[in-house]
Chain A
């Protein structure tokens, strides 16, 4: 059986069993039933209950072995001690069981119970997810543990050792335009580990970029071998918890085993091309760039053009990008000459960074941006272009459609020069609600068209540097 075949019942289950739903309809598993129905799950749902005949309008069954059809995915949220016997009794009738309950290996007194749980899953012939996790979100299978999450299947595959962080990734990712091929929370990893899901996502045609939140890698050597053998076929972004001594102590109490040392992770990244990030924001920013842009190993990103309003912002970004090993170099004279012919108003800087005050950008109601970008694309040979608009600076000075025209111009230029340069949009604002609403509207439109949008120049710099390092790795190694 291939890894894709093995994990298909998890990502696209036909039958879902739910253990722990109450007849009163108010337990977490009842909420799970409601959520997957709302999410559009059309397969069979089997509540498991020792006494009830019906739960939430569905016929209930006494045990996991009693359901009419075999169970592809069982969601289990009851007190821990009774679960091992339940799993052992399933006798090959269940493919994946996810134990969301806690009180296992993450606490000293639960270590034996976790060993029993893993043994029982093996005896019952199933793969076990968890314990101590929250669930799965799989739009292709219409199953989710979250209140919200896009129904559309996307290219981002996630595995998270933390359930809460998994929820954050979906919610924040949603507002940033991320679309997922799946998200699995694996908690204490008594059986299925992040390496297993990495293997699945690498093989899964739906997945284009993989994100992992890892606290401990008990099977670190296997993780290394999978990444090494994959030869950077897909970008893998790792958000590693417990990389410092203090973080390590927190991780040990969280998941119950010791994490590898930081230097191992740095080595792993250098040797396999996977990318390490330190914060949730950076994780989402990096996933977004790989969702929207296609890595270009034949011409790795090195030179970046900055174009937008805000002189100080351009200078700071030039410094910041230089520290990230990205070059913001002045244009060749021919490009400067071509831009000079546009006869832009005084105060406009037409070398790289291209600094255009609002007064310049509002020319022709914003359509001037298209002319500037055309020249840069045609003659400037940028490997990446970051267009930044400080939305606040337009307030009260221009007609509202100027911003629309600027963003539209940027989008049109992409269509005119496909694959010429990685294009990134930075929309800066002061947090004023009306401005935020407009920003959100622009962002949704842009991400749909394959343009990643960031809040600040620095936020865009890190993912761009990650893209560059991935391209360089592929160019030299893969």
Chain B
């Protein structure tokens, strides 16, 4: 992760990029008070012992490369690693993968794994006439196949955020169904307000961000963690 204090949106703009990469996206979320997994970057296997010391096991390792768009498909994501030795072995494996071998590699993102929970998606979209919109949906098939999502115009109020969740067809699942634990609605509403509220991320960067996608947001009984995030600039 970048050590500069410059806003990641401004930094990406200055570098002429049209999107924030995962690390910059999470940095932006963290700046807005949204929980992201603790992470460190190792540039090689030799770095692992030093960078890993502050992290809680288990961790996940993701390859960082401008040449690789779909990290999982390329074999560039290894999860559930419980020791420095596991992490080193994972990196060595990755370096042998055909789609990674020849790519430019900027490093390896070592990230704490989010505790188990409900998967949600929180997104943003800039409408040409109405400006920023914020969206929430349940993850996986609910978003992709059933399109069970709810939109609001930014800024949203707390009541708006509550109503967004209530109008999802799958809303009952969040309260805990079929033996699953409930998700913290307060934690989801908190993220929705930080993204789409009065001083939220989308309005603050309304001229720069055309699309945003926090997918998944993992929500447990007590917390919501943004595990992956993507921002399109323009």
Contacts and interface: CB of A to CB of B under 8 A. Distances in A.
Contacts of A224: 130, 153
19 contacts: A218-B129, A220-B127, A221-B129, A260-B130, A263-B133, A263-B151, A264-B127, A264-B129, A264-B130, A264-B133, A264-B153, A267-B153, A268-B153, A270-B160, A270-B167, A271-B152, A271-B156, A476-B159, A477-B159
A91 to B, nearest CB: 34
A217 interface: yes
SS class of chain A's interface: helix, strand, loop or mixed?
helix
Given A260-B127, A264-B153, A266-B151, A271 B133 contact: no
A174 interface: no
Interface string A252-264: 0000001011011
Interface string B151-168: 111001001100100010
Contact of A264 (B151, B160, B163): B151
A109 interface: no
Contact of A261 (B127, B131, B163, B167): B127
Interface of B: 127-131, 133, 151-153, 156, 159-160, 163, 167
A364 interface: no
10 closest A-B pairs by beta carbon, nearest first, are A220-B129, A220-B130, A263-B151, A221-B131, A267-B152, A260-B129, A267-B151, A264-B130, A267-B153, A224-B153
A467 to B, nearest CB: 19
A224 B131 CA distance: 10
- Residue from B129, B152, B156, B159 with most neighbouring chain A CB atoms (10 Å): B129
A477 B163 CA distance: 12
Given A224-B153, A263-B151, A264-B153, A270 B131 contact: no
Contact of A219 (B127, B129, B152): B129
Contacts, number: 45
Interface residues of A, number: 19
A258 B167 CA distance: 28
B132 to A, nearest CB: 9
Contacts of B163: 270
- Residue from B127, B152, B153 with most neighbouring chain A CB atoms (10 Å): B153
B139 to A, nearest CB: 19
Nearest to B160: A271
Contacts of A268: 130, 153
B192 to A, nearest CB: 13
Interface in A214-260: 216-221, 224, 258, 260
Contacts of A217: 129-130
Contacts of B159: 476-477
Given A270-B163, A476-B159, 9 more contacts: A217-B130, A219-B129, A220-B131, A221-B130, A221-B131, A260-B130, A264-B129, A266-B151, A270-B160
Nearest to A260: B129
A243 B97 CA distance: 48
A270 B152 CA distance: 8
- Residue from A216, A260, A271, A477 with most neighbouring chain B CB atoms (10 Å): A271
Contacts of A261: 127
